Amino acid sequence: MLPFSRVTIIGLGLIGSSIARAARRQMPTVRLTGHDADAEVRATATALGLCDDVSDTPGAAVTHADLVILCVPVGAMDQVARAIAEDLPAEAVVSDVGSSKAGVLAALQAALPGATIVPAHPVAGTERSGPEAGFASLFRGRWCILTPPDGADGAAVQRVAEFWRRLGAQIETMAPDHHDRVLAITSHLPHLIAYTIVGTASDMEEITRSEVIKYSAGGFRDFTRIAASDPTMWRDVFLSNKDAVLDMLQRFSEDLSALQRAIRWGKGDELHDLFTRTRAIRRSIVEQGQDDPAPDFGRSHE
């Protein structure tokens, strides 16, 4: 039996439209309703046939839902939750896909007192955004982390888990604070480093922009993919996961200083030991199916 039969997706960008596409493919009898604040996105979603209906207001979108998934930037979760509060059916489950969890959970609980809330974070994405960027296989083989609050309704958690399994994801459950620390190091800090290095390179007067781009295959271009990620989404992630990100950044800065010292004093063994350890991490990621085993991230060199 399907875990839900009337699903509403609010925010029809990369993640929301990918959920719609995957749900259409894997659970074709589910009735899908969508809403986005942006009229152009609503028009594109209608033209692409992402949902059965696209509503003009968040309230109208949720009236018949048994699952509502908020797929907007984390800074907009609070506003959307308040906008659906009056029309949300009592038996509906509310979920989200935000990249940070503790702050979003607090905002949803404050805006929707008494509602059944099961937050989720599919650890899958690309640097693109908008309804045309989504695709049905985005979640296949990826992790979806559920962060239910203490005392959450176990049956609702199981239904949300089953929904994501049907979209192709594997499920993990964590406390929201723990999620935020894990993602601070695995996702948020790497994005911050990429934004920094690309920003620094583009500011450098003595190396012209054209040289930065021309010789980017030396490593720089792999940072530029991450640094091309959506500015609104990432601004909100850093502001909402501030404590964990600052904590990881402190540790990272100390490790960077240690590397700086090793280079200054010619401690080749220290550098070699670290680079050997990091190579093993890459091997584990490939072995666990979280990236393409082909050299150079699977880029074709034909």
Cβ distance 98 to 180 under 8 Å? Answer: no
| Residue span 110-149 as binding mask against ligand NAP, x where in contact by CB under 6 A, dash where not | -----------xx--x---xx-------------------
User: What span, in angstroms and rounded, lies between the C-alpha atoms of 47 and 170?
Assistant: 31
Between the alpha carbon of residue 296 and those of residues 41, 203, 217, 219, 282, the distances in Å are 35, 27, 10, 10, 12
Choices 65-73, 112-120, 148-156, 199-207; region in contact with ligand NAP by CB under 6 A: 65-73
* Cβ 130 to ligand NAP shortest distance, Å: 5
Interactions with ligand NAP, residue window 163-202 (CB under 6 A): none
* Cβ 5 to ligand NAP shortest distance, Å: 23
Cβ distance 192 to 246 under 8 Å? Answer: no
Q: Which is nearer to ligand NAP, 36 or 180 (CB)?
A: 36
* Cβ 235 to ligand NAP shortest distance, Å: 11
Q: Is residue 260 a contact residue for ligand NAP (CB under 6 A)?
A: no
C-alpha closest to that of 146 among 169, 166, 175 = 175
Helical ranges in the chain per DSSP H: 14-26, 39-48, 58-62, 77-84, 102-111, 154-166, 176-183, 189-203, 209-214, 220-227, 231-240, 242-264, 268-287
Interactions with ligand NAP, residue window 66-105 (CB under 6 A): 71-74, 76, 79-80, 97-99
Site size with ligand NAP, rule: CB under 6 A: 29
* Cβ 167 to ligand NAP shortest distance, Å: 13
Choices 31-39, 173-181, 190-198, 247-255; region in contact with ligand NAP by CB under 6 A: 31-39
Q: Which is nearer to ligand NAP, 209 or 235 (CB)?
A: 235
Site for ligand NAP (CB under 6 A): which residue of 3, 13, 119, 176?
13
* Cβ 113 to ligand NAP shortest distance, Å: 20
Site for ligand NAP (CB under 6 A): which residue of 7, 9, 10, 157?
10
User: What span, in angstroms and rounded, lies between the C-alpha atoms of 13 and 259?
Assistant: 40
Interacting residues with ligand NAP (CB under 6 A) = 10-16, 36-38, 41, 71-74, 76, 79-80, 97-99, 121-122, 125, 129-130, 230, 233, 237
